[in-house]
Amino acid sequence: MKEDVVNRAYDEARARYAEIGVDTEKALDKLQDIHISLHCWQADDVTGFENPDGTLTGGIQATGNYPGKARNMEEVRADVIEAKSMIPGSHRLNLHATYGDFGGKRVDRDQIEPRHFEGWMQWAKENNMKLDFNSTSFSHPKSGNLSLANPDPAIRDFWVEHTKRCRAISEEMGKAQGDPCIMNVWIHDGSKDITVNRLKYRELLKDSLDRIFERKYENMKDCIEAKLFGIGLESYTVGSSDFYIAYASKYNKIVTLDTGHYHPTESISDKISALLPFIPEIMLHVSRPVRWDSDHVTIINDETMDLCKEIVRSDALSRVHIGLDYFDASINRIGAYVIGARATQKCLTAALLEPTPLLRDFEAEGKGFERLAMLEEGKSMPWGAVYDEFCLRNGVPVGDAYLKEVERYEKDVTSKRG
């Protein structure tokens, strides 16, 4: 898009928003301050560098075999840098424990150390990205159906040790970047068929978490992620939503809300205001479930819009961390990053441009028609022009201009991967 076309559309939009009392410049400033945590695992279908030939277990699946997936650390890094060049603003990178720099050696999960991630810390600094982290309890011979909730003390201890080490690594990352590293614990633990030991496994998980979180750190933050069910683990999930919300509110932990991890009719946006009075912060895994936790690429839809609006209406941008979590192997993987990140930002843009004070006045005055009418009008207000201006100011492709760049990178780089 030509620069002057973008500028003209923006000026029009600015005037339109001013009429309803919204300052687009303020919205742009706020948007600039939102750093999305990009999930490293979109680049390589959650494979990691520990065992590139291993299969993905733990009830999650990356479906599709689009050519060009990243095969090693260099390729993941190159792909993330490429994706980031098309996403306006500065963003974070969310690493999984299996993405360490193991130098070709077999380093088991209970042996990982900060030194395996020093290269990442250096790389992140050079590329103006901050790191977040995740323990990895899936795709491992000891994963089975139960990890932190395993009644076998040897297996449970192994995963407790792994998760403790992940916290120590996160602490080093946080220290190195002068900003807390947010570490997520998600485990797949569950049962394919009916279990008569629901309480037992949950008590074991609680005890494991207590042991894991015993040590206090200054430069990292813990978050815990629930799930409805995994593939092959359909009848019972140890770490359910109730379980983690209870745990987090009792022990002051961050709750991770993955938008794919709830009953299809549940609204995730409504959980923001339900949780904020009780827990310090929220981490989001913005995804798009299609019929199940299918991890399709995030798009602009009612769910993503509502989620962003609820964060903004709750004035909680500093308490809600936004990360992405999907792994689509059926389309260009770099394009998938760009679409999902930009869609999330577009929804945030629309949310930041909402005339909330006006809407709240209507509500206080009992003017239901007026409130609904303005909400409807907001849907077709020119927030797209404001986002285009944001892209322009950040020096990234505006509108569909990124298609050509994604295609160029595919031609020059990813299509040449074996």
Q: Is 312 helix (H, G, I), strand (E, B) or coil?
A: helix
Q: How far is the CB of 216 from ligand RNT (least distance, A)?
A: 24
Name which of 44 and 388 has its Cβ closer to ligand RNT: 44
Candidates 321, 317, 372; CA nearest to 349 is 317
Point out the catalytic residue in the list 186, 188, 189, 346. 186
Catalytic-labelled residue, pool 225, 303, 354, 389: 225
Work out whether 293 is an interface residue with ligand RNT (CB under 6 A). Answer: yes
Question: Could you tell which of ligand RNT, Zn ion, none binds residue 342, using a CB distance below 5 to 8 A set by kind?
Answer: none
The active-site residue out of 130, 162, 227, 271 is 227
What track of x and - describes contact with ligand RNT for positions 394 through 413 (by CB under 6 A)?
Answer: --------------------
DSSP 8-state secondary structure symbol assigned to residue 415: G
Q: Which of 28, 31, 40, 46 binds ligand RNT (CB under 6 A)?
A: 46
| Number of residues in contact with ligand RNT under rule CB under 6 A | 11
Residue 51 or residue 394: which is nearer to ligand RNT going by CB? 51
| CA separation for the pair 109, 342 (Å, rounded) | 34
Q: Based on the residue annotation, tell me whether 388 is a catalytic residue of this protein.
A: no
Residue 116 binding partner per list ligand RNT, Zn ion, none, with a CB distance cut-off of 5 to 8 Å that depends on partner kind: none
Q: Find tokens 């570490």 and name the residue.
A: 183
Whichever of 135 and 345 has its CB closer to ligand RNT, that residue is 135
| Antiparallel, parallel or unpaired: β 236-237 and 190-191 | antiparallel
325 near ligand RNT, judged by CB under 6 A:
yes
Tell which positions 161-200 bind ligand RNT, by CB under 6 A.
186
Binding flag, residue 143, ligand RNT (CB under 6 A):
no
Cα dihedral across residues 48, 95, 293, 150: positive or negative = positive
User: Is there a catalytic annotation at residue 186?
Assistant: yes
Q: Nearest residue by C-beta to ligand RNT?
A: 186
To the nearest 10 degrees (0 to 180), the angle between helices 153-177 and 198-212 is 40
Contact pick of 132, 225, 303, 310 for ligand RNT (by CB under 6 A)? 225
325 is catalytic: yes
Catalytic residue among 310, 325, 354, 389: 325
Indicate if 285 belongs to the active site: yes
Per-residue DSSP letter, 16: H
Tell whether residue 60 is a contact of ligand RNT (CB under 6 A). Answer: yes
Residue 88 CB partners (closer than 8 Å, separation 6+): 342, 345, 390, 391, 393, 394, 396
Assess contact for 295 and 334: CB atoms under 8 A: no
The verdict on 145 binding ligand RNT (CB under 6 A) reads no
Q: Is 295 a catalytic residue?
A: yes
Measured CA angle at 353 (ends 310, 2), to 5 deg: 130
Half-sphere exposure of 372 (CA within 13 A, CB side): 4
Residues 368 and 388: their CA atoms lie apart, in Å, by: 33
List alpha helices for 100-255, DSSP H.
118-126, 153-177, 198-212, 241-251
Shortest distance (Å) from residue 51 CB to Zn ion: 21
Are the C-beta atoms of 325 and 317 separated by less than 8 Å?
Answer: no
Q: Return the ∠ at Cα 254 (arms to 199 and 208), rounded to 5°.
A: 40
| 79 near ligand RNT (CB under 6 A) | no
Q: Give me 352's structure tokens.
A: 């930041």
53 is annotated as an active-site residue: no
Q: Which does 14 bind (CB under 5 to 8 A by kind): ligand RNT, Zn ion, none?
A: none
Radius of gyration of the chain (CA): 22
Question: Least distance (Å) from ligand RNT to the CB of residue 135?
Answer: 9
- Say which of 171, 189, 258, 328 is annotated catalytic: 258
Nearer to ligand RNT, 243 or 362 (CB): 243
Contact 16, 330 (CB under 8 A): no
Active-site annotation holds for 188: no
CA 43 to chain centre: 14
> By C-beta, is 60 or 297 nearer to ligand RNT?
60
* CB of 45 closer than 8 Å to CB of 371: no
Residues that bind ligand RNT (CB under 6 A): 41, 46, 60, 134, 186, 225, 227, 258, 285, 293, 325
Residues with catalytic roles: 186, 225, 227, 258, 261, 285, 293, 295, 325
